[in-house]
């Protein structure tokens, strides 16, 4: 490998137009953490004659890891981190009034886990979610969903009253053209259901909670008295490395002068800390996993205990 390659390509390697075609069936079971697809993102875009009353403005533009910054500038590095491969984008204008336009982007993220990861990183639980692909949300001006290895984003500019319906209709047809529709990462099913805040699931690759040593990690929010609490499971390759993450976080708390004590009612070895900035937090380790509660969720001891049980026999994702 040459060492003088462009910086964006190096990051990518290290972290390693017709109408929509009919969907194809994939072998079961589909494992979102490892399954791969070969479909190209431009085949997901609507063809130039597929949107009645609209016309394609120009052509389909394609971007790769080396030039993605030309399209989304400062956001490119996050996409590269999540394994970005290729972007196909186009713009449609309304025939009778070209001040109304729709921009459609299809990001190829290589595998479904990474498509979910970048989608979740740009979503929030207060959006209006829709049944679309693996998950989606929509408004009058914006729509996003992930499905298989693709992250699809659509933006409407104009003054049409039915713009949301138009976006949903286009997205529905695009979804049908995508080969396969796996569910959310199966690892997230290990988080207890009771008390979960809907639509807060995330897969984190870049400095979870501001700490590089915690990546990669999965995060879900849980109900608490004042505000939702982040429950993070940091995934290490070995139990020894998980223990190192546990100790590194303890050192971080000590530097901020956060006292710790055994967590009463929690599994053996769990600690309770009082962070001067974040309040109460709980730490535990189970096999290859370091578990962190960034706050005090309702039934926290029960949640931690169930997580311990679910993670004990979990194989590498």
Instruction: Give residue-wise pLDDT tens across range 150-193.
Output: 999 999 999 999 999 999 999 999 999 998 888 889 899 999 99
Q: Are 102 and 138 in contact (CB under 8 A)?
A: no
By CB atoms closer than 10 A (0-12, 13-18, 19+), residue 45 is buried
Tell me how far apart the alpha carbons of residues 33 and 35 are, in angstroms, rounded to a whole number: 6
Shared domain for 162 and 197, answered yes or no, is no
Q: What's the pLDDT score for residue 191? A: 97
| Domain count across the chain | 2
Could you tell me the CATH number of the domain that includes residue 173?
A: 3.40.1000
In the block, which residue shows the tokens 């009919």? 22
Shared domain for 226 and 252, answered yes or no, is yes
Shared domain for 78 and 156, answered yes or no, is yes
Could you tell me the CATH number of the domain that includes residue 295?
A: 3.40.1000.70
Q: What's the pLDDT score for residue 2? A: 33
Domain that holds residue 203: 186-312
Shared domain for 162 and 237, answered yes or no, is no
Question: Residues near 172 by Cβ (< 8 Å), separated by ≥ 6?
Answer: 132
Residue 229 covered by a domain: yes
Residue 119 covered by a domain: yes
Instruction: Give residue-wise pLDDT tens across range 197-211.
Output: 999 999 999 889 889
Shared domain for 207 and 155, answered yes or no, is no
Q: Does 46 or 5 have the greater pLDDT score?
A: 46
Taking the alpha carbons of 18, 23, 29, 32 in that order, is the dihedral positive or negative?
A: positive
Shared domain for 159 and 210, answered yes or no, is no
Residue 50 covered by a domain: yes
Shared domain for 146 and 204, answered yes or no, is no
Residue 1 covered by a domain: no
Average predicted confidence (pLDDT) for the chain? 87
Cis ω before 29 (30° cut-off from 0) = yes
Tell me how far apart the alpha carbons of residues 206 and 142 are, in angstroms, rounded to a whole number: 25
* Domain endpoint, select from 125, 143, 177: 177
Residue 53 covered by a domain: yes
Q: Does 286 or 37 have the greater pLDDT score?
A: 286
Flag whether pLDDT at 30 surpasses 80.
no
Coil, helix or strand at residue 290: strand
Phi, psi of 212 (to 5 degrees): -60, -35
Instruction: Give residue-wise pLDDT tens across range 220-253.
Output: 999 998 889 999 999 999 999 999 999 999 998 8
Shared domain for 245 and 127, answered yes or no, is no
* Domain endpoint, select from 177, 203, 226: 177
Shared domain for 58 and 144, answered yes or no, is yes
Q: Give the predicted TM-score (pTM) of the model.
A: 0.85
Shared domain for 152 and 218, answered yes or no, is no
């Amino acid at each position: 490998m040459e060492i003088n390659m462009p910086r964006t390509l190096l990051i990518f390697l290290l972290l390693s137009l017709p109408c929509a075609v009919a969907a194809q069936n994939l072998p079961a079971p589909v494992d979102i953490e490892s399954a791969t697809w070969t479909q190209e993102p431009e085949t997901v875009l609507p063809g130039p004659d597929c949107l009645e009353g609209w016309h394609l403005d120009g052509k389909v533009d394609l971007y790769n890891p080396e030039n993605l910054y030309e399209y989304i500038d400062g956001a490119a590095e996050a996409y590269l981190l999540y394994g970005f491969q290729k972007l196909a984008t186009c713009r449609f204008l309304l025939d009778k009034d070209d001040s109304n336009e729709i921009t459609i982007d299809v990001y190829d993220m290589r595998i479904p886990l990474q498509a979910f990861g970048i989608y979740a990183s740009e979503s929030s639980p207060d959006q209006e979610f829709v049944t679309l692909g693996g998950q989606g949300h929509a408004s009058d001006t914006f729509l996003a969903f992930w499905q298989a290895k693709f992250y699809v984003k659509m933006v409407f500019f104009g003054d049409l009253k039915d713009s949301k319906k138009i976006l949903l209709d286009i997205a529905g047809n695009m979804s049908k053209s995508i080969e396969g529709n796996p569910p959310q990462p199966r690892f997230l099913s290990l988080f207890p259901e009771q008390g979960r805040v809907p639509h807060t699931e995330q897969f984190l690759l870049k400095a979870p909670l501001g700490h590089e040593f915690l990546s990669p990690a999965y995060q879900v929010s849980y109900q608490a008295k004042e505000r939702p609490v982040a429950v993070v499971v940091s995934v290490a390759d070995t139990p020894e490395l998980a223990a190192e993450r546990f100790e590194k976080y303890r050192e971080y708390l000590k530097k901020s002068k956060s006292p710790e004590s055994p967590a009463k009612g929690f599994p053996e070895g769990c600690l309770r800390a009082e962070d001067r900035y974040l309040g109460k937090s709980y730490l535990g380790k189970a096999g290859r996993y370091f578990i962190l509660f960034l706050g005090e969720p309702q039934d926290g001891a029960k949640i931690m205990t169930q997580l311990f049980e679910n993670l004990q026999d979990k194989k590498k994702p």
